[in-house]
Chains A and B, each alone.
Chain A
Amino acid sequence: GAVVSQHPSWVICKSGTSVKIECRSLDFQATTMFWYRQFPKQSLMLMATSNEGSKATYEQGVEKDKFLINHASLTLSTLTVTSAHPEDSSFYICSASLQRSGANVLTFGAGSRLTVL
């Protein structure tokens, strides 16, 4: 089945530093990946849609200069949180899109928990 690998699973960094999170589709090609953010006891908040070979599409209110997304190949998308601050601490999850009988079925990575000190 489709597998999405995401790492690191957790990271602690100092305020002002940048952190990169990788998302890989292991056994399929993903032209479209999605990056979500999840706060405790809340649902998934879509941050951006990552398209291979083109610029990411960001949701309203998400700072594209803060959350840099690169989708350079059909199997890899990265999210870089630049100049991280404590309010960026969250659970970040990537997903790859697979079409099944017209349904946009998302396969998720295991998530990355970011803590900014």
Chain B
Amino acid sequence: QKEVEQDPGPLSVPEGAIVSLNCTYSNSAFQYFMWYRQYSRKGPELLMYTYSSGNKEDGRFTAQVDKSSKYISLFIRDSQPSDSATYLCAIHSGGYQKVTFGTGTKLQVIP
């Protein structure tokens, strides 16, 4: 079983839709959860990071963590064509421990 599972997509949605991106993980030692966005041929950029279970909101983006289910989500409201990218979840157990990435979900927002 992989440490982090993420549906690779691709996921196509119309502009303005609410997007839900998800990851599951297997190790309960993981405590920190991050979402990165990667445009084609570019390095990933950090969108959000969270520690505890619950929701964290930043503009149109909401990160949700459910530690009991080992399930994390990223919601994008009012999706825009500029949101078209690959979204990677990343988790780790703290400190300078290795960060484990999901495979990434490719999102396309159609105008």
Contacts and interface: CB of A to CB of B under 8 A. Distances in A.
Is this pair of chains taken from one and the same complex?
yes
B43 A104 contact: no
Interface stretch (A11-19, A68-76, A79-87, A93-101): A93-101
Main secondary structure of the interface of B (DSSP, over half): loop
Interface residues of A, number: 28
Contacts of B90: 106
Nearest to A106: B99
Interface of B: 6, 8, 31-32, 34, 36, 41-46, 49, 51, 88, 90, 92, 94-99, 101-104
Interface of A: 4, 6, 32, 34, 41-44, 46, 49, 91, 93, 95, 97, 99-111, 113
22 contacts: A34-B99, A43-B101, A44-B88, A91-B41, A93-B43, A99-B96, A100-B49, A102-B51, A102-B94, A103-B34, A103-B49, A103-B51, A103-B94, A104-B96, A104-B97, A104-B99, A105-B34, A105-B46, A106-B44, A106-B46, A110-B43, A111-B41
